[in-house]
Chain A
Amino acid sequence: MTETTTNRWDEFMEGIWKQNPIFVMTLGMCPTLAVTVSAVNALSMGLATTFVLMASCALVSMMRNIVPKEVRIATYIVIIATFVTSVDYLIQAISLRLYDALGAFIQLIVVNCIILGRAEAHASKNPLLPAVTNALGMGVGFTIGLLSLGTVREILGSGTLFGVPLFGEHFQPWVIMVLPPGGFFVLGAWLLLFAWRARRAQRKLAEATHHA
Protein backbone atom coordinates (compact mmCIF):
# COMPACT_ATOMS: atom_id res chain seq x y z
CA MET A 1 0.00 0.00 0.00
CA THR A 2 2.80 2.41 0.89
CA GLU A 3 4.39 1.74 -2.45
CA THR A 4 1.34 2.83 -4.40
CA THR A 5 0.86 5.92 -2.22
CA THR A 6 4.47 7.01 -2.77
CA ASN A 7 4.07 6.48 -6.48
CA ARG A 8 0.93 8.56 -6.54
CA TRP A 9 2.64 11.46 -4.78
CA ASP A 10 5.72 11.14 -6.95
CA GLU A 11 3.61 11.19 -10.04
CA PHE A 12 1.96 14.36 -8.83
CA MET A 13 5.20 16.07 -7.86
CA GLU A 14 6.94 15.10 -11.07
CA GLY A 15 5.14 17.78 -12.98
CA ILE A 16 5.87 20.42 -10.38
CA TRP A 17 9.61 20.28 -9.99
CA LYS A 18 11.58 17.63 -11.82
CA GLN A 19 9.67 17.86 -15.06
CA ASN A 20 8.17 21.30 -14.78
CA PRO A 21 6.68 21.94 -18.21
CA ILE A 22 7.89 25.51 -18.44
CA PHE A 23 11.23 25.57 -16.73
CA VAL A 24 12.52 22.12 -17.53
CA MET A 25 10.80 20.86 -20.63
CA THR A 26 10.35 24.29 -22.22
CA LEU A 27 6.93 23.37 -23.53
CA GLY A 28 3.85 25.53 -23.83
CA MET A 29 5.93 28.62 -24.44
CA CYS A 30 3.36 30.53 -26.41
CA PRO A 31 0.74 31.04 -23.69
CA THR A 32 3.48 31.33 -21.07
CA LEU A 33 4.80 34.54 -22.51
CA ALA A 34 1.60 35.91 -23.95
CA VAL A 35 -0.86 35.83 -21.06
CA THR A 36 1.47 36.38 -18.12
CA VAL A 37 0.98 40.11 -18.28
CA SER A 38 -0.84 39.96 -14.98
CA ALA A 39 -1.15 37.46 -12.17
CA VAL A 40 -4.91 37.00 -12.65
CA ASN A 41 -4.50 36.16 -16.32
CA ALA A 42 -1.67 33.77 -15.54
CA LEU A 43 -3.73 31.99 -12.88
CA SER A 44 -6.81 31.70 -15.10
CA MET A 45 -4.81 30.37 -18.01
CA GLY A 46 -3.13 27.86 -15.70
CA LEU A 47 -6.47 26.67 -14.34
CA ALA A 48 -8.01 26.39 -17.80
CA THR A 49 -5.04 24.41 -19.10
CA THR A 50 -5.06 22.15 -16.03
CA PHE A 51 -8.75 21.43 -16.59
CA VAL A 52 -8.20 20.54 -20.25
CA LEU A 53 -5.13 18.49 -19.32
CA MET A 54 -6.95 16.45 -16.70
CA ALA A 55 -10.12 15.93 -18.72
CA SER A 56 -8.24 14.97 -21.89
CA CYS A 57 -5.89 12.59 -20.09
CA ALA A 58 -8.84 11.01 -18.32
CA LEU A 59 -10.70 10.35 -21.56
CA VAL A 60 -7.56 9.21 -23.37
CA SER A 61 -6.74 6.85 -20.52
CA MET A 62 -10.25 5.43 -20.46
CA MET A 63 -10.10 4.77 -24.18
CA ARG A 64 -6.50 3.63 -24.34
CA ASN A 65 -7.27 0.01 -25.10
CA ILE A 66 -9.61 0.60 -28.00
CA VAL A 67 -7.90 3.41 -29.89
CA PRO A 68 -5.91 1.93 -32.80
CA LYS A 69 -2.34 3.15 -32.82
CA GLU A 70 -2.55 4.40 -36.41
CA VAL A 71 -5.06 7.08 -35.60
CA ARG A 72 -4.12 7.82 -32.02
CA ILE A 73 -2.66 11.29 -32.54
CA ALA A 74 -5.70 12.41 -34.51
CA THR A 75 -7.96 11.02 -31.78
CA TYR A 76 -6.04 12.76 -29.02
CA ILE A 77 -6.20 16.05 -30.89
CA VAL A 78 -9.96 15.77 -31.36
CA ILE A 79 -10.43 14.96 -27.67
CA ILE A 80 -8.27 17.88 -26.59
CA ALA A 81 -10.05 20.23 -29.00
CA THR A 82 -13.38 19.14 -27.54
CA PHE A 83 -12.41 20.10 -24.03
CA VAL A 84 -10.79 23.33 -25.14
CA THR A 85 -14.00 24.34 -26.91
CA SER A 86 -15.90 23.56 -23.71
CA VAL A 87 -13.52 25.61 -21.58
CA ASP A 88 -13.84 28.43 -24.10
CA TYR A 89 -17.60 28.59 -23.58
CA LEU A 90 -17.22 28.11 -19.84
CA ILE A 91 -14.95 31.15 -19.51
CA GLN A 92 -17.33 33.23 -21.62
CA ALA A 93 -20.11 32.26 -19.26
CA ILE A 94 -18.06 33.15 -16.19
CA SER A 95 -16.51 36.46 -17.17
CA LEU A 96 -16.44 38.24 -20.51
CA ARG A 97 -13.73 40.54 -19.23
CA LEU A 98 -11.43 37.61 -18.48
CA TYR A 99 -12.30 36.06 -21.84
CA ASP A 100 -11.33 39.27 -23.58
CA ALA A 101 -8.07 39.47 -21.66
CA LEU A 102 -7.02 35.93 -22.53
CA GLY A 103 -8.20 36.29 -26.09
CA ALA A 104 -7.25 33.73 -28.68
CA PHE A 105 -4.92 31.96 -26.28
CA ILE A 106 -7.79 30.02 -24.76
CA GLN A 107 -8.37 28.29 -28.06
CA LEU A 108 -4.63 27.97 -28.53
CA ILE A 109 -4.55 25.64 -25.51
CA VAL A 110 -5.34 22.92 -28.03
CA VAL A 111 -1.86 23.20 -29.53
CA ASN A 112 -0.13 23.44 -26.20
CA CYS A 113 2.50 20.73 -26.61
CA ILE A 114 2.19 19.80 -22.93
CA ILE A 115 -1.25 18.28 -23.35
CA LEU A 116 -0.55 16.26 -26.45
CA GLY A 117 2.78 15.22 -25.00
CA ARG A 118 1.24 13.98 -21.76
CA ALA A 119 -1.54 12.18 -23.56
CA GLU A 120 0.90 10.38 -25.81
CA ALA A 121 3.63 9.69 -23.27
CA HIS A 122 1.62 8.90 -20.17
CA ALA A 123 -2.15 8.80 -20.35
CA SER A 124 -2.25 6.41 -23.27
CA LYS A 125 -0.24 3.87 -21.29
CA ASN A 126 -1.64 4.17 -17.80
CA PRO A 127 -4.92 3.53 -16.03
CA LEU A 128 -7.25 6.34 -15.10
CA LEU A 129 -6.08 7.39 -11.64
CA PRO A 130 -2.32 7.62 -12.32
CA ALA A 131 -2.99 9.40 -15.60
CA VAL A 132 -5.19 12.01 -13.97
CA THR A 133 -2.80 12.49 -11.03
CA ASN A 134 0.12 13.05 -13.34
CA ALA A 135 -1.94 15.43 -15.43
CA LEU A 136 -2.91 17.33 -12.31
CA GLY A 137 0.74 17.59 -11.30
CA MET A 138 1.73 18.86 -14.74
CA GLY A 139 -1.08 21.36 -14.69
CA VAL A 140 -0.12 22.63 -11.27
CA GLY A 141 3.52 22.87 -12.34
CA PHE A 142 2.47 24.81 -15.42
CA THR A 143 0.31 27.13 -13.32
CA ILE A 144 3.16 27.74 -10.88
CA GLY A 145 5.42 28.58 -13.80
CA LEU A 146 2.84 30.93 -15.28
CA LEU A 147 2.29 32.60 -11.91
CA SER A 148 6.01 33.11 -11.33
CA LEU A 149 6.15 35.01 -14.60
CA GLY A 150 2.84 36.77 -14.18
CA THR A 151 3.55 38.13 -10.72
CA VAL A 152 6.99 39.44 -11.63
CA ARG A 153 5.75 41.10 -14.80
CA GLU A 154 2.71 42.60 -13.11
CA ILE A 155 4.63 43.93 -10.09
CA LEU A 156 7.38 45.48 -12.18
CA GLY A 157 5.29 46.49 -15.15
CA SER A 158 2.11 47.83 -13.56
CA GLY A 159 2.97 48.20 -9.91
CA THR A 160 0.05 46.02 -8.88
CA LEU A 161 -0.50 42.42 -7.81
CA PHE A 162 -3.83 40.78 -8.64
CA GLY A 163 -5.05 44.29 -9.36
CA VAL A 164 -4.08 45.67 -5.97
CA PRO A 165 -1.67 48.61 -6.25
CA LEU A 166 1.48 47.90 -4.28
CA PHE A 167 3.48 51.05 -4.53
CA GLY A 168 2.58 54.66 -4.08
CA GLU A 169 1.61 57.18 -6.70
CA HIS A 170 5.18 57.95 -7.65
CA PHE A 171 6.08 54.46 -8.79
CA GLN A 172 7.21 54.54 -12.39
CA PRO A 173 6.18 51.20 -13.84
CA TRP A 174 8.73 49.40 -15.95
CA VAL A 175 6.34 49.17 -18.86
CA ILE A 176 8.57 46.95 -20.97
CA MET A 177 7.78 44.16 -18.52
CA VAL A 178 4.20 43.93 -19.75
CA LEU A 179 5.25 44.14 -23.37
CA PRO A 180 6.56 41.22 -25.46
CA PRO A 181 10.29 41.79 -24.83
CA GLY A 182 9.62 41.74 -21.11
CA GLY A 183 8.15 38.28 -21.36
CA PHE A 184 11.29 36.94 -22.99
CA PHE A 185 13.56 38.67 -20.50
CA VAL A 186 11.71 37.52 -17.39
CA LEU A 187 11.56 33.89 -18.49
CA GLY A 188 15.24 34.03 -19.44
CA ALA A 189 16.00 35.46 -16.01
CA TRP A 190 14.13 32.66 -14.25
CA LEU A 191 16.01 30.05 -16.29
CA LEU A 192 19.29 31.73 -15.43
CA LEU A 193 18.36 31.60 -11.76
CA PHE A 194 17.58 27.89 -11.92
CA ALA A 195 20.77 27.20 -13.86
CA TRP A 196 22.77 29.09 -11.25
CA ARG A 197 21.17 27.10 -8.41
CA ALA A 198 21.81 23.83 -10.24
CA ARG A 199 25.42 24.85 -10.83
CA ARG A 200 25.85 25.72 -7.14
CA ALA A 201 24.33 22.42 -6.03
CA GLN A 202 26.63 20.55 -8.39
CA ARG A 203 29.65 22.40 -7.07
CA LYS A 204 28.70 21.66 -3.46
CA LEU A 205 28.26 17.99 -4.33
CA ALA A 206 31.64 17.91 -6.08
CA GLU A 207 33.29 19.57 -3.05
CA ALA A 208 31.64 17.12 -0.69
CA THR A 209 32.85 14.08 -2.64
CA HIS A 210 36.32 15.69 -2.89
CA HIS A 211 36.61 16.08 0.84
CA ALA A 212 35.20 12.62 1.50
Chain B
Amino acid sequence: MHEAPFQIFVNAFLANNFVLAMFLGLCPFLGVSGRLDTAFPMGVATTFVMLVASVCAYGLNLLLGALHLEFLRLISYIVIIASAVQLVEMVMKKYSPSLFRALGIFLPLITTNCAVLGVALFQTARDYDFVQSLTFSLGAGAGFTLALVLMASVRQRLQLSNVVGLAEGTALSLMLAGILSLSFMGFAGLGG
Protein backbone atom coordinates (compact mmCIF):
# COMPACT_ATOMS: atom_id res chain seq x y z
CA MET B 1 0.00 0.00 0.00
CA HIS B 2 1.38 3.39 -0.90
CA GLU B 3 -0.26 5.46 1.80
CA ALA B 4 1.57 8.53 3.01
CA PRO B 5 2.45 8.51 6.73
CA PHE B 6 0.39 11.61 7.37
CA GLN B 7 -2.66 9.96 5.81
CA ILE B 8 -2.17 6.90 7.97
CA PHE B 9 -1.93 9.02 11.11
CA VAL B 10 -5.04 11.06 10.41
CA ASN B 11 -6.90 7.94 9.43
CA ALA B 12 -6.10 6.02 12.60
CA PHE B 13 -6.68 9.14 14.70
CA LEU B 14 -10.02 10.29 13.32
CA ALA B 15 -11.64 8.62 10.35
CA ASN B 16 -11.04 5.05 11.47
CA ASN B 17 -10.63 5.82 15.16
CA PHE B 18 -9.41 2.70 16.90
CA VAL B 19 -12.08 2.76 19.56
CA LEU B 20 -15.10 4.35 17.94
CA ALA B 21 -14.82 2.82 14.48
CA MET B 22 -12.74 -0.30 14.84
CA PHE B 23 -13.97 -1.42 18.27
CA LEU B 24 -10.51 -1.96 19.67
CA GLY B 25 -9.64 -1.06 23.24
CA LEU B 26 -13.21 -1.12 24.51
CA CYS B 27 -12.63 -2.70 27.93
CA PRO B 28 -10.48 0.15 29.23
CA PHE B 29 -12.60 2.61 27.29
CA LEU B 30 -15.69 1.60 29.25
CA GLY B 31 -13.76 1.03 32.47
CA VAL B 32 -11.28 3.87 32.89
CA SER B 33 -13.14 6.71 31.27
CA GLY B 34 -14.94 7.71 34.43
CA ARG B 35 -12.56 10.48 35.34
CA LEU B 36 -10.54 12.83 33.22
CA ASP B 37 -7.41 12.76 35.36
CA THR B 38 -7.01 9.01 35.00
CA ALA B 39 -8.23 8.82 31.42
CA PHE B 40 -5.48 10.94 29.90
CA PRO B 41 -2.48 9.22 31.55
CA MET B 42 -4.03 5.87 30.66
CA GLY B 43 -4.16 6.96 27.06
CA VAL B 44 -0.55 8.08 27.11
CA ALA B 45 0.64 4.86 28.75
CA THR B 46 -1.25 2.82 26.16
CA THR B 47 0.19 4.91 23.32
CA PHE B 48 3.69 4.24 24.60
CA VAL B 49 3.05 0.49 24.76
CA MET B 50 1.59 0.65 21.24
CA LEU B 51 4.73 2.32 19.94
CA VAL B 52 7.00 -0.26 21.53
CA ALA B 53 4.75 -3.07 20.33
CA SER B 54 4.69 -1.65 16.82
CA VAL B 55 8.45 -1.39 16.51
CA CYS B 56 9.02 -4.84 17.99
CA ALA B 57 6.29 -6.38 15.86
CA TYR B 58 7.89 -4.95 12.73
CA GLY B 59 11.26 -6.44 13.65
CA LEU B 60 9.75 -9.76 14.76
CA ASN B 61 7.81 -10.04 11.52
CA LEU B 62 10.98 -9.65 9.47
CA LEU B 63 12.77 -12.22 11.62
CA LEU B 64 9.96 -14.77 11.55
CA GLY B 65 9.51 -14.30 7.83
CA ALA B 66 13.19 -14.97 7.20
CA LEU B 67 13.03 -18.12 9.32
CA HIS B 68 9.70 -19.27 7.83
CA LEU B 69 8.18 -19.39 11.31
CA GLU B 70 5.09 -17.27 10.58
CA PHE B 71 2.92 -19.47 12.77
CA LEU B 72 4.75 -18.16 15.84
CA ARG B 73 3.73 -14.63 15.05
CA LEU B 74 0.79 -14.33 17.44
CA ILE B 75 2.63 -15.83 20.41
CA SER B 76 5.69 -13.65 19.94
CA TYR B 77 3.60 -10.49 19.55
CA ILE B 78 1.68 -11.10 22.75
CA VAL B 79 4.83 -11.96 24.72
CA ILE B 80 6.46 -8.72 23.53
CA ILE B 81 3.41 -6.73 24.53
CA ALA B 82 3.34 -8.33 28.00
CA SER B 83 7.01 -7.43 28.44
CA ALA B 84 6.47 -3.85 27.27
CA VAL B 85 3.67 -3.45 29.79
CA GLN B 86 5.92 -4.76 32.56
CA LEU B 87 8.47 -2.15 31.54
CA VAL B 88 5.94 0.67 31.64
CA GLU B 89 4.73 -0.50 35.04
CA MET B 90 8.24 -0.46 36.48
CA VAL B 91 9.00 2.98 35.04
CA MET B 92 5.74 4.44 36.28
CA LYS B 93 6.13 2.92 39.74
CA LYS B 94 9.51 4.61 40.05
CA TYR B 95 8.75 8.02 38.59
CA SER B 96 5.09 8.55 39.39
CA PRO B 97 3.84 6.30 42.18
CA SER B 98 0.60 8.23 42.75
CA LEU B 99 -0.39 7.74 39.13
CA PHE B 100 0.63 4.11 39.40
CA ARG B 101 -1.75 3.65 42.29
CA ALA B 102 -4.53 5.64 40.61
CA LEU B 103 -4.49 3.47 37.52
CA GLY B 104 -4.41 0.34 39.64
CA ILE B 105 -5.38 -2.88 37.93
CA PHE B 106 -5.89 -1.19 34.58
CA LEU B 107 -2.17 -0.78 34.00
CA PRO B 108 -1.32 -4.49 33.69
CA LEU B 109 -4.60 -4.86 31.82
CA ILE B 110 -3.05 -2.94 28.92
CA THR B 111 -1.64 -6.34 27.99
CA THR B 112 -5.12 -7.57 27.13
CA ASN B 113 -6.05 -4.33 25.43
CA CYS B 114 -7.13 -5.39 21.96
CA ALA B 115 -5.96 -2.05 20.63
CA VAL B 116 -2.30 -2.78 21.31
CA LEU B 117 -2.33 -6.21 19.74
CA GLY B 118 -4.59 -4.78 17.05
CA VAL B 119 -1.91 -2.28 16.05
CA ALA B 120 0.63 -5.06 15.61
CA LEU B 121 -1.77 -7.30 13.70
CA PHE B 122 -3.12 -4.60 11.38
CA GLN B 123 0.26 -3.22 10.45
CA THR B 124 1.37 -6.74 9.56
CA ALA B 125 -1.77 -7.44 7.54
CA ARG B 126 -1.46 -4.18 5.63
CA ASP B 127 2.24 -4.69 4.99
CA TYR B 128 3.31 -1.31 6.33
CA ASP B 129 6.97 -0.38 6.23
CA PHE B 130 8.77 0.97 9.29
CA VAL B 131 7.78 4.63 9.02
CA GLN B 132 4.20 3.73 8.15
CA SER B 133 4.03 1.41 11.17
CA LEU B 134 5.31 4.12 13.50
CA THR B 135 2.79 6.70 12.31
CA PHE B 136 0.06 4.08 12.45
CA SER B 137 0.75 3.25 16.08
CA LEU B 138 1.04 6.94 16.98
CA GLY B 139 -2.25 7.67 15.29
CA ALA B 140 -3.91 4.69 16.93
CA GLY B 141 -2.65 5.73 20.36
CA ALA B 142 -3.68 9.33 19.82
CA GLY B 143 -7.10 8.20 18.66
CA PHE B 144 -7.50 5.94 21.67
CA THR B 145 -6.51 8.77 24.01
CA LEU B 146 -8.88 11.15 22.24
CA ALA B 147 -11.81 8.76 22.57
CA LEU B 148 -10.98 8.11 26.23
CA VAL B 149 -10.69 11.82 27.05
CA LEU B 150 -13.91 12.69 25.22
CA MET B 151 -15.77 9.94 27.00
CA ALA B 152 -14.35 10.93 30.40
CA SER B 153 -15.29 14.58 29.94
CA VAL B 154 -18.86 13.74 29.04
CA ARG B 155 -19.28 11.19 31.81
CA GLN B 156 -17.89 13.59 34.41
CA ARG B 157 -20.44 16.17 33.33
CA LEU B 158 -23.22 13.60 33.42
CA GLN B 159 -22.49 12.72 37.01
CA LEU B 160 -24.08 16.02 37.96
CA SER B 161 -27.18 15.69 35.82
CA ASN B 162 -30.39 13.75 36.15
CA VAL B 163 -29.94 10.48 34.37
CA VAL B 164 -32.72 7.94 34.28
CA GLY B 165 -31.76 5.46 36.99
CA LEU B 166 -32.36 2.58 34.66
CA ALA B 167 -29.68 3.72 32.29
CA GLU B 168 -26.90 4.32 34.75
CA GLY B 169 -23.63 2.54 34.31
CA THR B 170 -22.57 0.60 31.27
CA ALA B 171 -25.77 1.13 29.31
CA LEU B 172 -25.28 4.87 29.46
CA SER B 173 -21.62 4.63 28.49
CA LEU B 174 -22.57 2.53 25.49
CA MET B 175 -25.20 5.01 24.33
CA LEU B 176 -22.65 7.78 24.71
CA ALA B 177 -20.11 5.79 22.79
CA GLY B 178 -22.67 5.23 20.05
CA ILE B 179 -23.28 8.95 19.69
CA LEU B 180 -19.54 9.67 19.70
CA SER B 181 -19.03 6.97 17.10
CA LEU B 182 -21.82 8.46 14.98
CA SER B 183 -20.21 11.89 15.08
CA PHE B 184 -16.80 10.48 14.18
CA MET B 185 -18.32 9.02 11.04
CA GLY B 186 -18.30 12.58 9.81
CA PHE B 187 -14.52 12.32 9.46
CA ALA B 188 -14.85 9.72 6.73
CA GLY B 189 -12.55 10.35 3.84
CA LEU B 190 -10.37 12.74 5.81
CA GLY B 191 -6.77 12.12 4.97
CA GLY B 192 -7.50 10.78 1.53
Contact = CB atoms under 8 A, between A and B. Distances in A.
Interface of A: 26-27, 29-31, 33-34, 73-74, 77-78, 81-82, 84-85, 88-89, 104, 107-108, 110-113, 116, 176, 179-185, 187-188, 191-192, 195-196, 199
B75 A111 contact: no
A33 B25 CA distance: 11
B6 interface: no
B122 A104 contact: yes
A113 B185 contact: no
Given A34-B23, A85-B75, A181-B182, 17 more contacts: A29-B30, A30-B23, A30-B27, A77-B79, A88-B74, A107-B121, A108-B117, A111-B113, A179-B185, A181-B185, A184-B175, A185-B174, A188-B170, A188-B178, A191-B170, A191-B174, A199-B166
A104 B178 contact: no
Contact of B114 (A73, A85, A108, A188): A108
20 contacts: A26-B27, A30-B26, A33-B26, A34-B24, A78-B78, A89-B71, A104-B118, A110-B117, A111-B111, A111-B112, A111-B113, A111-B117, A112-B112, A180-B22, A185-B174, A188-B171, A188-B178, A191-B171, A195-B166, A195-B169
A185 B79 contact: no
B181 interface: yes
Interface in B71-103: 71, 74-75, 78-79, 82
A110 B82 CA distance: 12
Given A108-B114, A108-B121, A81 B78 contact: yes
**Residue from A30, A85, A176, A179 having most chain B Cβ neighbours under 10 A:** A30
B16 to A, nearest CB: 10
B181 A184 contact: yes
A110 B26 contact: no
Given A108-B118, A180-B23, A26 B74 contact: no
Interface of B: 20-27, 30, 71, 74-75, 78-79, 82, 109, 111-114, 117-118, 121-122, 125, 165-167, 169-172, 174-175, 177-179, 181-182, 185
A108 B113 CA distance: 9
A29 to B, nearest CB: 4
A88 B71 CA distance: 10
A188 B171 CA distance: 5
Contacts, number: 111
Which secondary structure characterizes the binding site on chain B?
helix
B24 to A, nearest CB: 6
Contacts of A29: 23, 26-27, 30
Nearest to A29: B26
Contacts of A34: 22-24
Contacts of A78: 75, 78-79
Top 3 A-B residue pairs of the complex, sorted by shortest distance between their CB atoms: A184-B178, A188-B174, A29-B26
B23 A195 contact: no
Nearest to A33: B23
A55 B171 CA distance: 32
A196 B166 contact: yes
Nearest to B83: A74
A34 B87 CA distance: 30
**Residue from B23, B166, B181 having most chain A Cβ neighbours under 10 A:** B23
B111 to A, nearest CB: 8
B105 to A, nearest CB: 12
B54 to A, nearest CB: 15
